[in-house]
Structures are given as C-alpha cells and as structure tokens.
Amino acid sequence: MEFRKIFDTIPEQFDKYRPRYSVELFSELIDYAQIMSGKSVLEIGPGTGQATEPVLNSGCDYYAIELGENFSKMLNRKYSKYSNYSLINDDFITYDFKEQKFDMIYSATTIQWIPEDIAFSKTFDLLKPGTILAMMFTTSEYKTSNEDLYNKIQQIYSEYFKPDIKYEHGDFKYENVVNYGYVDFRKREFHGRREFTADEYVGMAGTHCDHLTVPEPYKSKFFNGLREAVLEAGNKIVFNDTYILMTARKPE
C-alpha cells in the first residue's frame, strides 16, 4: 500500500492523535491571504480536519479534496453542517477541476506526497492571479524535555524499528515552489507543546506511516518498549512542537 493511502486505514486513531496547528498560525495565514466571505479556498488532503475548521470559520467558500474514503466520511460527519463546506473524495493528482479557480490553496503536510512538478504547477494553474499557496507542517522534539527518556526511546528504535517500507519523502523541497512561477516565498514558525501518557504516546506513534508497516515480531516489542519507557519516566512525555507555515504568491 502507498504511504499516502495508509493513513486512511486508521481514521479514528489519526483524528485523536495527530497534532493541530496553532491559533496564531491561522490568524497570520487568514489575515495575510485575506480569506473571508466570498473568497474561494481549496484544502489539499485535509485528513480528518487537523487544519480545516479555522479556515471554514472564516466564512470563505471552502473546498477540500481528500483521497481517503474513510477520512472523507469522517470529514463529512464533522463539517457537512457548514453551508460553506464542500468535499471531493478523489485524487488531487488526477482530478479535473475544469475552470474552477481559488483565492487560496493550502495543505497541512499532504503536499509532500505529491510529485513536486504536479504539486506546484497544478496549484499554480488553479490559483487566481495574486493569490496564495500555503503549506504547513509540524516538527517535534522531546529530547530537551527529558534526555534520559529520549536516549531510552532511541535505543528501542535501534533494536526494534524495522518497517517493511522505508519512509523516503523527506526530500520534498518546499522552497522549490519559486521554480514554478511563484514569488514572495515566506517561512514563519509558531510554537506549541503536547504532553502524552504512555498509552497516548503509543497511540500517537502508531499514526506515523512507516510505524504502521513494522512487522511482527518487531511490532509488539517496539510499541511495548515505547510504552514501558514512558511509564518508567513517570507516565509522561512532553513534545515541543514547531508549526511551520510557508506561503508563496502567484503573480498578478
């Protein structure tokens, strides 16, 4: 199974544990892109809505395209009550938007799963002149919160983290957007904090695509090891999150 489809197999777990983005990030984005009633916005791959509601609440005409069938069902359960909400359950790579154009297109992590030439050239074509492509993702670290726990977890990864499929999508270069006609590339950072119990941490770890492909007998040893490490550390692990927002503009 493709990594970009594997998340759809765990919609409830994904919805519970995947990080949301900061209020400050959305305030900055909505103000910068001038998103309001009457503006048309497309979200690429909303998952279960980690970055959806703040944009919906702006009053814009919100559209989403989501590949996952289970994700799409959950999104509809959550947001179909909004009169400005519309969802397409299809693949952004191949879907024909016909003559539709948008005042902003945005993606929370998803765009990295699309080949660069398609991601940037297709969004460019779909945007109105002078409008914004926004891309965001989260990086997290827990070493500074508890270095001993960090070292124990790294040892567990070294011994038991042996996924069947290697994650190789870290080479997506967001800054390459300027090679496809975009201008005014900007990058901003916002910060947050998450705290998990041992069981919550294991649940969160189990939403990462390559973690879902760890086979037995390693899988049980891996996740049990993570749980025991956090239990021994007082049943608490703290993540320091950085929410990264990148924007680029289609010229007038």
- pLDDT, one tens digit for every residue, the chain (252 residues): 566 788 999 999 999 999 999 999 999 999 999 999 999 999 999 999 999 999 999 999 999 999 999 999 999 999 999 999 999 999 999 999 999 999 999 999 999 999 999 999 999 999 999 999 999 999 999 999 999 999 999 999 999 999 987 766 667 899 999 999 999 999 999 999 999 999 999 999 999 988 999 999 999 999 999 999 999 999 999 999 999 999 999 999
The length of the chain, given as a count of residues: 252
Q: Which two tokens stand for residue 173?
A: 């270069």
Contact between 137 and 109 (Cβ < 8 Å): yes
> Could you give the 3-state DSSP secondary structure of residue 79?
helix
Residues 201 and 226: beta-carbon distance below 8 Å = yes
Tell the residue number behind the tokens 């941490």, with chain if given.
201
Q: Are 180 and 121 in contact (CB under 8 A)?
A: yes
Give the pLDDT of residue 198.
98
225 Cβ neighbours under 8 A, 6+ residues apart: 156, 159, 160
Q: Domain ranges in the chain? A: 3-140+168-193+241-249
- Those residues whose C-beta lies under 8 Å from the C-beta of residue 126, and which sit 6 or more positions away, are 42, 97, 100, 101, 102, 105
Q: Give 84's contacts (C-beta < 8 A, 6+ positions apart).
A: 56, 59, 60, 61, 62
Kindly report the pTM of this predicted structure.
0.93
CB atoms within 10 A of CB 46: 27
Q: Residue 228 and residue 199: Cα distance in Å, rounded?
A: 10
User: Pick from 93, 80, 84: which is nearest to 55 by CA?
Assistant: 84
Is the domain covering 3-140+168-193+241-249 a CATH 3.30.1780.10 domain? no
> To 5 degrees, how large is the angle CA 100–CA 104–CA 108?
115
